[in-house]
Amino acid sequence: MSEVQVTFQPSGQRVFVLPGTSLLEAAGRVGIILQTPCGGAGTCGKCLVKVISGDCNAAESCDDTLSDDLINQGYHLACQTKVMGELVVDIPEESMFESRQQILEDDLGAELEVNPVVYKKYFKLDAPTSTDDRSDETRLMDAIGEVEVSIEQLRCMPSLMRNNDWAGTAVLSGDRLLAVEQGDTSGKVYGVAFDIGTTTVVGTLFNLLTGAELAVESQMNGQIAHGDDVISRILKVREDTVALAELQRVIVGTANDIISSLCGKAKIEHDHIYEVAIAGNATMQQIFCGLNPAALGEVPFVQVFDRSLTLQANKLGLLVNVGADLFVMPQIGGFVGGDTVAGMVAARIDKWDKPVLLVDIGTNGEIVLCHDGKLLATSAAAGPAFEGARITQGMRAAAGAIEKVIINGDVEINVIGNVTPVGLCGTALIDAVAGMLRAGVLDETGRILSTDEVDSSMSSLLKDRLIERDGNVDFLLAGTVEKNPIYIYQKDVRELQLANGAIRAAVNILLRRAGVDPADLGYVLLAGAFGNFIRRSNARRIGLLPQVACGAIRFIGNAASLGAKLVLMSSNERQYADELCKRTEHIDLSLDSEFQMEFGMAMIFPDDDFDACIDE
């Protein structure tokens, strides 16, 4: 089956997918995350898109959810509509997950609060006279209210007042004077929220007066040159006394490059940025702040701080207003850092009506459970299998990577870039293993069966893919044995079992500690880049996710990034972040006696299977 092109408007992003792929999934492939409060059941109507032209197939259930008027205008539910041929689709702003007002209003009943810490006051003072000899400072405070003024500001004040006809704009943060500016700059108050990933750094520029998002910019974390995971960077700091300063200089440099680019895009000045907020794992946050992460590299993995920090941004080298503050997310534990807390804030983790599990799957998986107001959090070292590493023909999700596998009598694949496959990424590995389990090619211990062992009713097309050699059986996923073969090797299945087992064991331990039966979980929220691309029924089939109904498993996009934006925008959100962090009990699995046994059991694939999810 050959792939067809889908173009999304207004961004113009394009993707090639197999016919039969849902529009929801196609959009997700290019990073367009739609709202799915009903989990793709076709009942909430929030994943609304408009088909401009092309061939698609909408499920009948759309008719029950959408009005005739909307249907006649070409609107479809992305979760219920399959791509059949080349398509052009318009995505309304309200359907986007990143439209924050919508997320918070629709999913959680709260409105986005624009209540920044920084604000400005324009003033016009009377000049001193023989009958009014108030000091410059008192004269200013009589106009703007009692504030804390630094000695540096007092030094500048006499000339600033007298040279500008006693008028200007005071920049305030709470009861602290950040700056006094010439003229009326009261309409220029900006802030930047950073999601500091180990690999990628994303910065978003906001107008703090209106809450409007002005520009987004991402770059590779410059620390990549010093190792591509947190452990290698921690080791570098442990081995070399000057490495911490160098790593801090590099990450601040990356942030400054992003700030410059954001200012250029939005045509604003660096000096009008008064707030910066960052969310990252504990290692990234500590290095950003110049705090030694060495203790994160040995049991019991202790972080330097857990409360949120408010620091002077320019003292760390950030190119923003000299008085600007840097807000750093609180951290729960060594490997449950500020990015997890940001995700909890964005997910409103304690506001759901049933037990809720927040899962961010990656090299380090972070898991948070909230039940009856009680919060538990842990992390599991899943290793890089989900990113395609340590998989024989594994690769990151780039051009040439198989990203989707369907096994149904034979194998269908989807390749990024619509080219000859050269490897497979983590989502395809999960699809393939789940499909192999369903087809009876793989048993629950993870052994690929030989042609003699599989059920005699299995299609010959599948049997021909079982390649026996050196006492092992490998599964031919794409190509032929002679030309461009891509295999699932027996050892690849073992790698996936290790990664899968670590996450699942961590989930099981949290559930047991909280006294929650997996069947009683109301919601499983999947956060992060990888989580938003996996097929829910396949992740569930291999045991990565608990056996809950599809509607309970929801994609929540880049929750860490959203959390950073929320705390940038509102002092109440900052308090909420600190409160959630304080309330959360950290479970350190490296010290947990149950973990090894639970891990061993979680390596075995479940023998049952649920219904397939509608949108997959």
- Identify residue 530 by its one-letter amino acid code: F
- With CB under 6 A as the contact rule, the residue among 47, 329, 341, 587 that binds ligand FES is 47
Query: Given the complex with ligand FES, which of 24 and 369 has the nearer CB atom?
Result: 24
- With CB under 6 A as the contact rule, the residue among 38, 89, 205, 359 that binds ligand FES is 38
- With CB under 6 A as the contact rule, the residue among 7, 15, 21, 40 that binds ligand FES is 40
Are the C-beta atoms of residues 368 and 340 closer than 8 Å to each other?
Answer: yes
Beta carbon of residue 539, minimum distance to ligand FES (angstroms, whole number): 18
Beta carbon of residue 38, minimum distance to ligand FES (angstroms, whole number): 4
Binding mask 483-502 for ligand FES (x = CB under 6 A): --------------------
Beta carbon of residue 65, minimum distance to ligand FES (angstroms, whole number): 6
| Strand 4-9 versus strand 13-17 pairing type | antiparallel
Helix (H, G, I), strand (E, B) or coil at 537: helix
Binding mask 365-384 for ligand FES (x = CB under 6 A): --------------------
- Under the binding rule (CB under 6 A), the answer on residue 28 touching ligand FES is no
- Under the binding rule (CB under 6 A), the answer on residue 102 touching ligand FES is no
Beta carbon of residue 78, minimum distance to ligand FES (angstroms, whole number): 6
Radius of gyration of the chain (CA): 27
Query: Given the complex with ligand FES, which of 46 and 348 has the nearer CB atom?
Result: 46
272 HSE (CA, 13 A, CB side): 21
Q: Across the beta sheet with 466-469, what order do the strands follow?
A: 466-469, 472-478, 486-488
Query: Given the complex with ligand FES, which of 47 and 569 has the nearer CB atom?
Result: 47
Part in contact with ligand FES (CB under 6 A); list of ranges 34-42, 192-200, 207-215, 243-251: 34-42
Beta carbon of residue 100, minimum distance to ligand FES (angstroms, whole number): 18
Q: Across the beta sheet with 200-207, what order do the strands follow?
A: 213-220, 200-207, 190-196, 273-280, 325-328, 309-312
- Under the binding rule (CB under 6 A), the answer on residue 397 touching ligand FES is no
**Contacts with 68 (C-beta within 8 Å, 6 or more apart), sequence order:** none
Number of residues forming the site for ligand FES (CB under 6 A) = 11
- Asked whether the bond before 300 is cis by omega within 30 degrees of 0, the reply is yes
Part in contact with ligand FES (CB under 6 A); list of ranges 36-44, 416-424, 500-508, 510-518: 36-44
Query: Given the complex with ligand FES, which of 103 and 318 has the nearer CB atom?
Result: 103
- Under the binding rule (CB under 6 A), the answer on residue 557 touching ligand FES is no
Part in contact with ligand FES (CB under 6 A); list of ranges 44-52, 208-216, 398-406, 573-581: 44-52
- Under the binding rule (CB under 6 A), the answer on residue 525 touching ligand FES is no
Beta carbon of residue 615, minimum distance to ligand FES (angstroms, whole number): 7
Written as six digits, the tokens of 498 are: 């290790």
Query: Given the complex with ligand FES, which of 97 and 274 has the nearer CB atom?
Result: 97
Query: Given the complex with ligand FES, which of 42 and 543 has the nearer CB atom?
Result: 42
d(Cα 17, Cα 479) in Å, to the nearest integer? Answer: 19
120 HSE (CA, 13 A, CB side): 24
- Identify residue 336 by its one-letter amino acid code: V
Part in contact with ligand FES (CB under 6 A); list of ranges 37-45, 211-219, 459-467, 501-509: 37-45
Element (H, E) at 75: strand 75-77
Query: Given the complex with ligand FES, which of 6 and 44 has the nearer CB atom?
Result: 44
Helix (H, G, I), strand (E, B) or coil at 593: coil
- With CB under 6 A as the contact rule, the residue among 28, 42, 203, 343 that binds ligand FES is 42
- With CB under 6 A as the contact rule, the residue among 51, 77, 234, 328 that binds ligand FES is 77
- Under the binding rule (CB under 6 A), the answer on residue 46 touching ligand FES is yes
Query: Given the complex with ligand FES, which of 40 and 116 has the nearer CB atom?
Result: 40
- Identify residue 424 by its one-letter amino acid code: L
- With CB under 6 A as the contact rule, the residue among 6, 7, 22, 45 that binds ligand FES is 45
- Under the binding rule (CB under 6 A), the answer on residue 79 touching ligand FES is yes
Query: Given the complex with ligand FES, which of 166 and 523 has the nearer CB atom?
Result: 523
DSSP 22: B
Are the C-beta atoms of residues 602 and 508 closer than 8 Å to each other?
Answer: yes
Beta carbon of residue 31, minimum distance to ligand FES (angstroms, whole number): 18
DSSP 386: G
d(Cα 112, Cα 94) in Å, to the nearest integer? Answer: 14
Shortest CA distance to 317 belongs to which of 350, 270, 261?
270
Query: Given the complex with ligand FES, which of 46 and 465 has the nearer CB atom?
Result: 46
In sequence order, what DSSP letters do the residues of 323-380 get, joined into one string? Answer: T-EEEE----BTTB-HHHHHHHHHHTTT--SS-EEEEE-SSEEEEEEEETTEEEEEEE
Beta carbon of residue 82, minimum distance to ligand FES (angstroms, whole number): 13
What's the Cα-to-Cα distance from 426 to each of 34, 511, 557, rounded to whole Å?
22, 26, 17
Helix (H, G, I), strand (E, B) or coil at 407: strand
Torsion sign over Cα 341, 347, 352, 356: negative
Question: Whole-angstrom distance between the N-terminal and C-terminal Cα of the chain?
Answer: 17
Query: Given the complex with ligand FES, which of 45 and 333 has the nearer CB atom?
Result: 45
Binding mask 253-272 for ligand FES (x = CB under 6 A): --------------------
Query: Cα-flanking dihedrals φ and ψ of residue 150, to 5°?
Result: -85, 165
| Positions in the binding site for ligand FES (CB under 6 A) | 36, 38, 40, 42-47, 77, 79
